């Protein structure tokens, strides 16, 4: 706790010192201290200061220098637009053209057509061509997150000439740890690490030292699949190709980290029954707008539960004590179903349940787990009801209903995501609230159905 407080105090002192330099016009002191910071800390300072202070920053930093900071920002989409609107349009256009092409595309995609065209018209033709090429790819695909700033070497080049190319292109390349080898048709044929290039003799041909077994992704592959490959192989960069094996770009690990965060946030939102994730600074009406669709749907599903209970009105009238245990049974079954749902969604996300055999194994395991939990909970709840109310028959009924409900809920929690995955629907859509409501219906049907058969 103390360490966190010390870090916060140091960060605040840094902000105060740099702000004072800006306010007093001490440009040299500001630049000296500012550029000693890590780009992340520079971005945090830029984000936290007031708009009037940022106006001074625009005078003290070149568009090229601000581009590095802008790339390190971690903002909501609409906040990028707010910062751009603070800048002179020519300054902003130059800054965007100095950013990595994939990062510039991410920002430009948040603008409307007229604003985007205004910036593109002020950029040089080469930059516009790179950005326009990336913007044509569908969102959430490899093409949408790749960058065209990489080092490519012809297979017939020598290591000496490759080093010369690397020195020239390194300042603008997003990574130089991998050199991607292409043939005369610009097809990807190999990869060479920086270490292998350095230790190789000067006059050796690249094709003689390159690794021909290249892991690549197609430009139309889903970004979640790309992230999985990157994680499995521990790559720093991954080449992107088209149907003709032509090298189009690369995806770097920093972009994949953003994808993982984005996908995790999206899955968490769906599991919570929210159309999009809420942020702390969002207003109540915005947050309500995102949550209402799920709540309305669940409200109608809840009406099914109410209608179902009405069908057993005679049973509840005859044995009123049964109503006491409805929340207990429905709540326990809902919780067990949500647990199974989380296990199934995680298995699909991590590819542990990637093939039919592993999916069947997951279902059987969850069914067995549900049976064990159901029997144990039934024994416990039967004893509780007997000692609490002195009703052995009611206790056995509640225990039997709970056992059956837990088994059904656990199986449903695992089965529904797997079925959704099979038909091409995001399994996270089988959210916790949805599974819980569904299990409410089945548990009440089981409980009151058993009561009607064995008591009345």
Q: If residue 239 lies in a helix (H) or strand (E), which one and from where to where?
A: strand 237-241
| DSSP three-state, residue 211 | strand
Q: Which residues contact 87 (CB under 8 A, 6 or more apart)?
A: 58, 95
Using the 8-state DSSP alphabet, how is residue 178 labeled?
E
Alpha-carbon gap, residue 211 to 372, rounded angstroms = 52
Alpha-carbon gap, residue 391 to 414, rounded angstroms = 34
CA angle 279, 280, 284 (to 5 degrees): 90
- Quote the pLDDT of residue 299: 73
Angle, helix 27-34 to helix 2-24, in steps of 10 degrees: 150
- Local mean pLDDT, 10-residue blocks, the chain (456 residues): 63 88 92 91 91 93 92 76 90 92 86 89 90 88 90 93 91 88 94 92 92 93 89 90 94 86 66 53 63 68 73 73 83 86 79 79 91 93 88 88 91 86 70 73 86 76
Q: Which domains does the chain have, with CATH numbers?
A: 11-137 (1.25.60.10), 152-264 (3.10.580.10), 284-454 (1.10.357.20)
Alpha-carbon gap, residue 64 to 94, rounded angstroms = 8
Closest CA to 160 of 101, 208, 212, 202: 202
- Quote the pLDDT of residue 107: 87
pTM for the model stands at: 0.64
- Quote the pLDDT of residue 3: 60
Half-sphere exposure of 448 (CA within 13 A, CB side): 26
**Sign, CA torsion 338/359/403/312:** positive
């Amino acid at each position: 706790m103390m360490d966190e407080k010390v870090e916060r105090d140091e960060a605040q002192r840094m902000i105060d010192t740099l702000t004072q330099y800006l306010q007093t016009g001490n440009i040299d002191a500001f630049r000296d201290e500012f550029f000693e910071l890590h780009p992340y800390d520079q971005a945090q300072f830029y984000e936290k200061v007031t708009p009037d202070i940022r106006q001074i920053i625009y005078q003290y930093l070149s568009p090229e220098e601000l581009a590095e900071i802008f790339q390190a920002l971690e903002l909501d989409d609409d906040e990028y637009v707010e910062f751009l609107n603070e800048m002179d349009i020519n300054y902003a256009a130059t800054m965007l053209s100095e950013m990595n092409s994939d990062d510039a595309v991410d920002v430009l995609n948040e603008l409307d057509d007229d604003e985007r065209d205004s910036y593109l018209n002020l950029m040089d033709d080469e930059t516009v061509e790179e950005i326009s090429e990336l913007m044509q790819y569908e969102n959430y695909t490899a093409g949408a997150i790749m960058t065209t700033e990489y080092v490519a070497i012809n297979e017939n080049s020598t290591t000496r000439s490759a080093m010369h190319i690397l020195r020239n292109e390194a300042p603008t390349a997003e990574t130089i740890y991998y050199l991607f080898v292409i043939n005369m048709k610009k097809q990807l044929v190999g990869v060479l690490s920086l270490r292998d290039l350095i230790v190789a003799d000067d006059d050796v041909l690249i094709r003689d030292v390159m690794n021909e077994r290249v892991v690549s992704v197609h430009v139309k592959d889903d970004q979640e699949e790309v992230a999985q490959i990157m994680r499995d192989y521990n790559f720093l960069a991954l080449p992107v190709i088209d149907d003709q094996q032509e090298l189009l770009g690369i995806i770097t690990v920093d972009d994949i980290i953003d994808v993982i965060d984005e996908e995790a946030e999206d899955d968490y939102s769906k599991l919570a029954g929210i159309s999009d994730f809420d942020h702390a600074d969002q207003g109540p009406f915005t947050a309500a707008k995102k949550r209402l669709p799920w709540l309305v749907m669940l409200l109608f599903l809840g009406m099914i539960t109410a209608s179902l209970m009405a069908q057993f009105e005679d049973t509840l009238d005859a044995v009123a004590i049964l109503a006491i245990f409805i929340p207990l049974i429905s709540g326990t079954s809902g919780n067990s179903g949500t647990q199974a749902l989380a296990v199934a969604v995680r298995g699909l996300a991590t590819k542990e349940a990637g093939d039919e055999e592993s999916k069947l194994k997951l279902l059987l395991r969850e069914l067995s787990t549900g049976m064990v939990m159901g029997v144990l909970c039934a024994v416990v709840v039967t004893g509780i009801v007997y000692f609490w109310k002195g009703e052995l028959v009611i206790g056995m009924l509640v225990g039997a209903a709970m056992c059956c409900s837990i088994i059904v809920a656990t199986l449903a929690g695992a089965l529904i995501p797997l079925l959704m995955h099979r038909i091409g629907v995001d399994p996270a859509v089988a959210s916790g609230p949805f599974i819980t409501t569904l299990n409410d219906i089945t548990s009440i049907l089981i409980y009151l159905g058993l009561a009607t058969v064995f008591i009345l």
